[in-house]
């Protein structure tokens, strides 16, 4: 077999695994949206079967032989072929270390755990979730041990979401951010509090749905290739070219919850819709990393969605969509409300300054859970203690405390740090975008509702490359510099120093 034949067979097998995984994704989406609760056990068996099948194909020894036959054959290390081989080798070497039994058991137990989490959150009853979380945690420890690590089991799990990142690196990053953010938050707290009551009025769900979908379509989410549904915890699920699903949750008495959730998930969705379809099923047609993925959602949610030009365009439409609710409100009042800096309990509703403290909290708890320093039974108390230390608040219920996020129920240990990485990447991409186009030109374009220059820049610099470059390299190519927290801190300091929010 020639090198080109071996590469073609490698791509064929990669696409076959991706198809099986897309079937699992459809079942996972259905579980969170329309599946009857009583179907959880069966769904767990279905997902376990598909996970086992995909794992069997992903660890076939023939794949190792094909990789060995093509490695080093690409003359350009930045070519699509070289990137596919590099990333498929990384995935193969990781997968072969994990027993098929563990893969199947994780799929089955996390399906049951997600159902238990949903019930526990709705009833504010941690005991409902605890036994399943203990089982998930035990399986993730087993996975970390199988994959292997040098310093901390967290390294093995973090690598699944952000290849190349380390626990030590994340620790250092968070320590530096906390040192900078705490005084910023304190200074913001000393300022006159903006009125936030205009966000807590009657916002009928049907009108929220229409307005949020209109905004998502305006910024570039393609509803011919996607849709929005309702769930307990917002997410984006992409099954492949032409099919990307967003979800959100609605609160008829609070505007932010659904609207900014939709902008966030639309950012994810537009990234998936911007991947090149001809590379689907290979690393070149797959998102770069979760940190880069989160940069897209956080960018549209915050840097665009909370900016003055955005609401210069959308606020008159918002008032029309909710007659009577905002009649006396000015654009400036609304901007101040949606950008208010104030410690709060729910991560997905947090302001940009305090948000990363929510991630720091979860990161520290994950480390303790994985190392065995924290028992699952003690999680609610540990959460509340750390929350009070960071925010000066104590959650009144576990539903607004340790039960608020879905991630641990699906085994997402190692996921949370990517949100902070996403914030940093988003700010750096934002600076580069304004440098390339001119800040005033971007503001003008957004103000008139023309988001094509922004989306076009992201398509060219981020989306179309897939996993051709690792995250750090992609950032350097897009912005001209390695990832740094400085653009994010500059963005926050400028925003918080203004009497009115700016773009």
Q: Residue ranges of the domains in the chain?
A: 3-148, 168-195+257-497
Res. 33 pLDDT band, cuts 50 70 90: very high
How high is the pLDDT of residue 193?
86
Q: Pairing relation of β-strands 226-230 and 243-248?
A: parallel
> Percent helix, strand, coil in the chain (nearest 5)?
70, 5, 30
C-alpha–C-alpha distance, residues 492 and 482, integer Å = 19
- Asked whether residue 478 carries a pLDDT value surpassing 80, the answer given is yes
Using CA of residue 333, residue 337, residue 339, residue 342, what is the dihedral sign?
A: positive
C-alpha–C-alpha distance, residues 503 and 494, integer Å = 10
pLDDT one-digit tens code per residue, 289-330: 999 999 999 999 999 999 999 999 999 999 999 999 999 999
Rg (CA), the chain: 22
CB atoms within 10 A of CB 356: 25
- Asked whether residue 389 carries a pLDDT value surpassing 90, the answer given is yes
Q: Cβ(314)–Cβ(334) under 8 Å? A: no
Contacts (Cβ under 8 Å, ≥6 apart) of 480:
432
How high is the pLDDT of residue 501?
40
How high is the pLDDT of residue 229?
97
Transcribe 62-131 into DSSP letters: HHHHHHHHHTT--S-TTSHHHHHHHHHHHHHHHHTTS-HHHHHHHHHHHHHHHHHHHHHHHHT-HHHHHH
pLDDT one-digit tens code per residue, 398-451: 999 999 999 999 999 999 999 999 999 999 999 999 999 999 999 999 999 999
Of 26-30, 186-190, 210-214, 356-360, the one with minimum mean pLDDT is 186-190
pLDDT one-digit tens code per residue, 136-181: 999 999 999 999 999 999 999 999 999 999 999 999 999 999 999 9
- Asked whether residue 502 carries a pLDDT value surpassing 70, the answer given is no
CB atoms within 10 A of CB 203: 24
pTM summary value: 0.96
φ, ψ for residue 306, nearest 5 deg = -110, 15
**Averaged pLDDT score across all residues of the chain:** 96
Mean pLDDT of 358-384: 98
Mean pLDDT of 262-268: 98
Verify whether residue 65 is a known catalytic residue: no
Instruction: Report the percent of the chain where pLDDT is more than 70.
Output: 99
- CATH code, 168-195+257-497: 1.10.1370.30
How high is the pLDDT of residue 394?
97
Q: Which of 104, 143, 257, 265 is catalytic?
A: 265
- Asked whether residue 500 carries a pLDDT value surpassing 80, the answer given is no
How high is the pLDDT of residue 503?
37
């Amino acid at each position: 077999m020639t090198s080109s034949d071996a590469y073609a067979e490698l791509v064929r097998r990669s696409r076959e695994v991706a198809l099986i995984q897309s079937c699992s994704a459809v079942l996972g989406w259905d579980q969170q949206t329309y599946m009857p609760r009583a179907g959880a056990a069966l769904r767990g068996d279905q997902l376990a079967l598909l996970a086992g099948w995909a794992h069997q194909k992903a660890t076939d020894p023939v794949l190792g032989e094909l990789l060995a036959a093509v490695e080093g054959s690409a003359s350009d290390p930045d070519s699509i072929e070289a990137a596919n081989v590099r990333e498929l080798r990384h995935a193969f070497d990781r997968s072969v270390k994990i027993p098929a039994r563990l893969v199947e058991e994780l799929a089955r137990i996390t399906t049951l755990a997600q159902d238990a989490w949903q019930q526990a959150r709705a009833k504010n009853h941690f005991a409902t979730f605890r036994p399943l979380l203990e089982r998930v945690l035990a399986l993730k420890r087993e996975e970390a041990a199988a994959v292997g690590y040098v310093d901390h089991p967290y390294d093995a799990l973090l690598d699944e979401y952000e290849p190349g990142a380390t626990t030590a690196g994340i620790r250092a990053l968070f320590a530096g951010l906390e040192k900078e953010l705490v005084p910023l938050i304190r200074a913001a707290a000393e300022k006159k509090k903006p009125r936030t009551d205009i966000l807590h009025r009657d916002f009928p769900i049907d009108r929220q749905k229409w307005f949020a979908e209109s905004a998502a379509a305006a910024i570039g989410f393609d509803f011919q290739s996607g849709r929005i549904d309702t769930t307990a915890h917002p997410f984006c699920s992409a099954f492949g070219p032409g099919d990307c699903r967003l979800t959100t949750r609605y609160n008829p008495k609070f505007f932010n919850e659904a609207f900014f959730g939709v902008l966030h998930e639309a950012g994810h969705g537009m990234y998936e819709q911007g991947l090149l379809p001809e590379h689907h099923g290979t690393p070149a047609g797959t998102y770069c990393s979760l940190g880069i993925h989160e940069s897209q959602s956080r960018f549209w949610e915050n840097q665009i969605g909370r900016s003055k030009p955005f609401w210069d365009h959308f606020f008159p439409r918002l008032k029309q969509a909710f007659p009577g609710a905002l009649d006396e409100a000015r654009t400036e009042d609304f901007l101040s409300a949606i950008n208010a800096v104030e410690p709060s309990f729910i991560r997905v509703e947090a302001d940009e300054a305090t948000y990363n403290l929510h991630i720091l909290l979860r990161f520290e708890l994950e480390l303790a859970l994985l190392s065995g320093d924290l028992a699952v039974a003690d999680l609610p108390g540990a959460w509340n203690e750390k929350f009070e230390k960071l925010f000066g608040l104590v959650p009144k219920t576990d539903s607004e405390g340790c039960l608020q996020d879905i991630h641990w129920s699906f085994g997402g240990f190692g996921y949370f740090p990517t949100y902070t990485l996403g914030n940093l990447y988003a700010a750096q991409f934002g600076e580069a975008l304004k440098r390339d186009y001119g800040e005033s030109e971007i503001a003008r374009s957004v103000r008139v509702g023309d988001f094509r220059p922004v989306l076009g820049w992201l398509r060219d610099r981020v989306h179309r490359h897939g996993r051709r470059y690792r995250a750090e390299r992609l950032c350097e190519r897009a912005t001209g510099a390695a990832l740094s927290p400085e653009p994010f801190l500059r963005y926050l300091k400028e925003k918080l120093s203004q009497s009115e929010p700016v773009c």
